[in-house]
A and B are shown apart, each in its own frame.
Chain A
Amino acid sequence: MKHEAIAAPGPEQAKAGFWKDSLRDYGLLFSLLVIMGFFYFLTDGISLAPLNVTNLILQNSYVVIMALGMLLIIVGGNIDLSVGSIVGFVGAIAATLMVGFHFPGLDIDVKVPWQAVILIALVLGGAIGAAQGYFVAFSKIPSFIVTLGGMLIFRGLTGNMLLGQFVGPFPKSFQNISAGFIPDFDDFELFKPLVGGSNFHWGSMIVGIIGAAVLIYTGVRRWSRSRAGAMETEPFALFIGKNAIFALLILFFSYQLASYKGLPEVLIIMGVLILIYAFVTTRMTIGRRIYALGGNRLAAQLSGIRTDRLTFFTFVNMGVLAGLAGLIVAARLNSATPSAGQSFELDVIAACFIGGASASGGVGKVMGVVIGAFVMGVMNNGMSIYGLGIYWQMVVKGVVLLSAVYIDVYQKSKG
């Protein structure tokens, strides 16, 4: 019997709505800039020096990569606590296969080439995700419980397998996943005279410039197209401001990276994945369906969406990305250790919530989560350089997470 006769908001209100929505997105970007600036001064500029910017990318790539998968899980209305343990487990398996071990049953030595190991690791990650996804999606056990179990199981298996030892080192080509940089002009005899033996990596800089240009071009195209289609567009100032900040950030980072060793290979992997997931979540039917599932599972179901299968898929996807992260972490450490990946799930989940994902599902954007991951990364990195104790670091991160979500909730309740 309840009636809500809410008048349809006029265009003015719609515009105000845009500002409000945007404020959230850009507020986050702004916070990231503020935090970066804060640590820049705190560390006398070290935090944004070329070496450290490179480190920042290398240290955070796997958090960003896993956050992409976690976003789909959280948007779908679930959570995955097991990703840190999967990173450790997959890393341990990959290391053991690559370094080689004696198989007692058949009395043979097994050693697998690194290319095959990558494939095996991704499939293994997917299989673990599938196993957990099965319990969540089809047996209807809450994801919190299933993945809490997974977190214990795979951490335990990792420990049992490695027995406190480090397994490594790995072939150089494998290490390059995490330690390699894209080839530059001076890697080719033909181009060497062009750069004249300078230490600046022009190739990387050019890639960065192209990236910034493409960003601006697609942004402008989308904006003018939606304006032509008489759809509502964000105010021009806002649009220009956002794109300018992004472009400048890309140029700045490329410049700093180019001044050191160039663009890390893992940055390319990460960038490609970000683009793919941004596309999947905003432009593809499967992305749309995941948002619908998280927004209202029953309504999605009654609209003909196979919600169980979709939930299952988000877990498989998460498993594969966690497997990839496991490889990157192993490659970076050049060994598998029993504690690899420990408490990564916390950084990954925090990145999602700082990035604006809703714990009740249905809400969250790829760009938000990427920025959220960098907020965490910049803080981790900056606090370490500053020499803040590990325990105080935890306190600070907890406060930041809570404040970010509080501001989010507060803004929503006001609207």
Chain B
Amino acid sequence: MNAILEMRGISKSFPGVKALRDVNLVVKAGEIHAICGENGAGKSTLMKVLSGVYPYGSYEGDIIYQGAERRFARIADSEHLGIIIIHQELALVPLLSIAENIFLGNEPARMGVIDWNEAFSRTRDLLAKVGLKESPNALITNLGVGKQQLVEIAKALAKKVQLLILDEPTASLNESDSDALLNLLLEFKGQGITSILISHKLNELAKVADSITVLRDGTTVETIDTHAEKISEGRIIKSMVGREMSDRYPPREPKIGDILFEVKDWRVEHPLHAGREVIKNVSLHVNRGEVLGIAGLMGSGRTELAMSVFGRAYGRNVTGKVFMDGREVDVSTIQRAVASGIAYVTEDRKSLGLILNEDIKNNVTLANLPGIAWRGVIDDQKETAVATQYRGMLKIRSSSILQKTLNLSGGNQQKVVLSKWLFAHPQVLILDEPTRGIDVGAKYEIYTIINELASTGKAVIVISSEMPELLGICDRIYVMNEGKFVDEMPASEASQEKIMASIMKQYGAVQ
């Protein structure tokens, strides 16, 4: 078989980070080619290079597609050649109909007047191809996620797709929808359409993939031909996570005390879809002086768990109990959660953590204004002192405490958010992806702060998608998947393989 696509020596950097390093990918015509790797391994970046989201010139290396070198300046260029990417977050307009969505930007029209008859009849044909019986008039918002996914694929077909790229298409689908989708891919394969499938679910890969390319830390590890050798779960996991650890973590001597914080029988429903449980009966505890990790893939419910405990900032119909020092506490609002000694540092510091157009000082004191005020009047000198103290303590690199947080680097922004919550003097600090998108040096400093906090008898809960980080800084780790805790292990006994295996177990992994 000939290669339909060859990506040679692709490198892509963002300021401060090399996201892809000399990646090679060969996709044969008419195959289903799977790409797997950890979060942040570079899968999505690679696909964005391929589809022209990152235009030619912003990366190094060559793309050879259908026998010629291609230099895509924009997405339209790659789409024109039949390369269609379907993103994890669907790009459909909810309040438009199926037909309108399928032909959005590509309407069958003469002089700007849309020929709705043609649009409708073509939509009907396309829907039949993907096995949907909905009317072309149906609104997207009334369809389930699985059907929306199929509409996306129909939209790709409308653009005469030759290379279909699916980014974790089954992440939010249930089993029967997933099966239907995978069967569709097999059907397309019969019609000569090549697919690239990004997925974590190894059982799916085993079912449909002809080749599997594994990425790790922005480089290609290997490409496995599933017909030549029998693949095993352990083999792929090792390939995905097998990297060495160095002293990227400060030394830690845990002094673990009594149980400080407990969550029991926690259940949360999706804020929009009533009845859809996002957190399914989770219980956890953390001791004084302990750093607890929660591992899991994106979308496993870790953020939802943390935010729902933090004053029901997420979800509805939240049930369960929360205990602090053995006494039940009320966490029904954020104010009460904060008053009970809980702090939550968000994973999305720009849109949920900071007031970007305000300075460091105002951000640091925001969660504890009474701490610098007397009867509602702010004591300027005290506030300045507090902000100066935290700026020094956390080494926030800035011109002064009056610098706007908008102009800080990611690591320093994170330290401002951290300062804000340290100044609220919590008993339990929940950190959601505390080191996402920040450089190695700043990471080390944040780990040090975590250690210091734990050594004063507070408890720290760290949510992270970077498994080495959890192994490096935590005392104990819960493994979360699909809204449940599927495993719990002391960090001393944990390994990346073991965590990955606990996650995969749920998907009925192949042997």
- A residues in contact (CB < 8 Å) with B: 1-6, 8-11, 13-14, 229, 231-232, 283-286, 288-289, 291-292, 295-296, 298-306, 362-363
Whether the Cβ atoms of A289 and B351 lie closer than 8 Å is no
Known: A304-B335, A363-B357. A2 touches B437 (CB 8 A): yes
Query: Out of B16, B310, B311, B399, which one reaches A8, CB within 8 Å?
Result: B399
Once the chains bind, are A3 and B16 in contact (CB under 8 Å)? yes
Contact A285 B369 (CB under 8 A): yes
B237 adjacent to chain A (CB < 8 Å) = no
Q: Are A302 and B351 in contact (CB-based, < 8 A)?
A: no
What distance in Å separates the Cβ of B406 from its nearest Cβ neighbour in chain A?
A: 9
- Give bound CA distance, A231 to B178, whole Å: 60
B1 within 8 A of A: no
**Is the Cβ of B399 less than 8 Å from the Cβ of A10?**
yes
With A6-B408, A295-B356, A296-B355 in contact, do A302 and B344 touch (Cβ < 8 Å)? yes
Which one, A1, A289, A299, A304, contacts B354 given CB within 8 A?
A: A299
Q: With A288-B369, A304-B337 given, name 5 new contacts (CB 8 A).
A: A1-B40, A3-B409, A229-B381, A284-B376, A362-B355
Q: A411 to B412: give the CA distance in the assembly, Å.
A: 26
Contact of B407 among A6, A284, A286, A302 (CB under 8 A): A6
Contact B19 A231 (CB under 8 A): no
Taking a contact as CB atoms under 8 Å apart, the answer to whether A8 and B398 are in contact is yes
Q: Give the top 5 A-B pairs by smallest Cβ distance, nearest first.
A: A295-B355, A285-B369, A303-B367, A304-B338, A3-B16
**Contact (Cβ within 8 A) A300 B403:** no
Partner of B399, one of A2, A13, A283, A289: A13
Q: Cα distance A231–B359 when bound, in Å?
A: 13
- On whether the beta carbons of B357 and A231 are closer than 8 Å, the reply is no
B408:A8 contact, CB within 8 angstroms: yes
Residue from the list B14, B351, B403, B408 in contact with A296, Cβ < 8 A: B351
CB of A285 within 8 A of CB of B373, answer yes
> By the criterion CB–CB under 8 Å, are B351 and A298 in contact?
yes
A299 surroundings in chain B (CB, below 8 A): 351-355
Q: Which residue of A lies closest to B310 (CB)?
A: A302
Closest to B367 in A: A303
Pairwise interchain contact A232-B400, C-beta atoms closer than 8 A = yes
Check A302 against B376 for contact (C-beta < 8 Å): no
> How many A-B pairs fall under 8 Å by CB?
119
Interface flags for B407-418 (1: CB within 8 Å of A; 0: not) read 111101000000
Which residue on A lies nearest to B334, using beta carbons?
A304
| Residue in A1, A13, A232 whose Cβ sees the most chain B Cβ within 10 Å | A1
- A to B CB contacts below 8 Å, 16 in the list: A5-B409, A8-B398, A8-B408, A10-B399, A283-B377, A285-B376, A288-B366, A291-B362, A292-B362, A299-B353, A302-B353, A303-B367, A304-B337, A304-B367, A362-B355, A363-B357
Asked if B17 is at the interface of the complex by the 8 Å CB criterion, the answer is yes
Is the beta-carbon distance between B377 and A288 smaller than 8 angstroms? no
Q: Are B376 and A231 in contact (CB under 8 A)?
A: no
Which of B16, B376, B378 contacts A5, CB < 8 Å? B16
**Contact residue range for chain B?**
35 or more
Instruction: Mark out the residues of chain B between 301 and 342 whose CB falls within 8 Å of any chain A CB in the assembled complex.
Output: 310-311, 313, 334-335, 337-338
B384, CB-defined interface residue at 8 Å: yes
B366:A300 contact, CB within 8 angstroms: yes
CB contacts under 8 Å to A, within B364-418, are 366-367, 369-370, 373, 376-378, 380-381, 384, 397-400, 402-403, 407-410, 412
Interface contact A301-B381, CB-CB below 8 Å: no
Q: Is the beta-carbon distance between B367 and A3 smaller than 8 angstroms? A: no
A9 touches B354 (CB 8 A): no
Instruction: Check if A4 sits within 8 Å of B378, measured CB to CB.
Output: no
B427 at the interface (CB under 8 A from A): no
Contacts of A4 in B (CB 8 A): 15, 409-410
Residues of B within 8 A of A302 (CB): 310, 313, 334, 344, 346, 352-353
* B200 interfacial contact with A, CB 8 Å: no
B45 within 8 A of A: yes
Task: Give chain A residues whose Cβ lies under 8 Å from the Cβ of B33.
Answer: none
Tell me the bound Cα distance from A232 to B360 in angstroms: 14
Cβ contacts under 8 Å, A14 to chain B = 399-400, 402-403
A1→B402 contact, CB < 8 A: no
The answer to the question of B187 belonging to the interface, with a C-beta cut-off of 8 Å to chain A, is no
Most buried by A among B310, B311, B378, B420: B378
Contacting residues, chain B, for A296 (C-beta < 8 A): 351-352, 354-356
Instruction: Decide if B437 touches A289 in the complex (CB within 8 Å).
Output: no
Contact residue among A10, A231, A301 (Cβ-Cβ distance under 8 Å from B313):
A301
Could you say which of B15, B376, B403, B420 contacts A9, with CB atoms under 8 Å apart? Answer: B403
User: Closest CB of chain A to B11's CB: distance in Å?
Assistant: 14
| Bound-complex Cα distance A283 to B379 (A) | 8
> Does B225 lie at the interface of the complex (its beta carbon under 8 Å from any beta carbon of A)?
no
* A300 in contact with B355 (CB, 8 Å): yes
Task: Knowing A5-B16, A6-B408, A9-B403 are in contact, say whether A303-B358 is a contact too (CB < 8 A).
Answer: no
Whether the Cβ atoms of A301 and B334 lie closer than 8 Å is yes
Q: Is the CB of B369 within 8 A of A289?
A: yes
B380 to chain A, nearest CB (A): 8
- Cα distance A14–B398 in the bound complex, in angstroms: 10
Q: Tell whether, in the assembled complex, residue B399 and residue A6 are in contact, meaning their CB atoms are under 8 Å apart.
A: no
Q: How far is the CA of A2 from the CA of B380 in the complex (A)?
A: 35
Q: List B residues 73-128 near A (Cβ within 8 Å).
A: none
CB neighbours (8 Å) of B373 from chain A are 284-285
Considering the chains assembled together, what is the distance between the CA atoms of A362 and B405 in angstroms? 14
- Which residue of A is nearest B355, CB measured? A295
Q: Which of A10, A288, A291, A363 has the most CB of B within 10 A?
A: A288
Asked whether A285 and B370 contact (CB < 8 A) given A13-B399, A14-B399, A300-B355, the answer is yes
Q: In chain A, what residue has the closest Cβ to B338?
A: A304
Q: Which residues from A are CB-within-8-Å of B352?
A: 296, 298-299, 302
Residues of B close to A11: CB separation below 8 A: 399-400
Alpha-carbon gap, A363 to B366, bound state (A)? 16
Interface-central residue, B17, B40, B407, by most chain A CB under 10 Å: B407
Are B334 and A9 interface neighbours, CB within 8 A? no
Contact yes or no, A8 B403, CB < 8 A: yes
Chain A residues positioned under 8 Å from B400 (CB to CB): 11, 14, 231-232
B437 touches A1 (CB 8 A): yes
Residues of A within 8 Å of B381, CB to CB, are 229
B14–A2 touching, CB < 8 Å = yes
Measured in the bound complex, the distance between the Cα atoms of B405 and A4 in whole Å is: 12
Measured in the bound complex, the distance between the Cα atoms of B322 and A413 in whole Å is 47
Measured CA separation A301–B351 after assembly (Å) = 12
The residue of chain B having its C-beta at the shortest distance from the C-beta of A282 within the complex is B378
Compute how far the CA of A1 lies from the CA of B44 in the bound complex, rounded to whole angstroms.
Answer: 10
Chain A hits for B355, CB < 8 A: 291-292, 295-296, 299-300, 362
Min CB gap B426→A, angstroms: 11
Quick check: B14 and A231 within 8 Å, CB to CB? no
> CB-CB < 8 A to A3: which residues of B?
14-17, 409-410, 437, 439
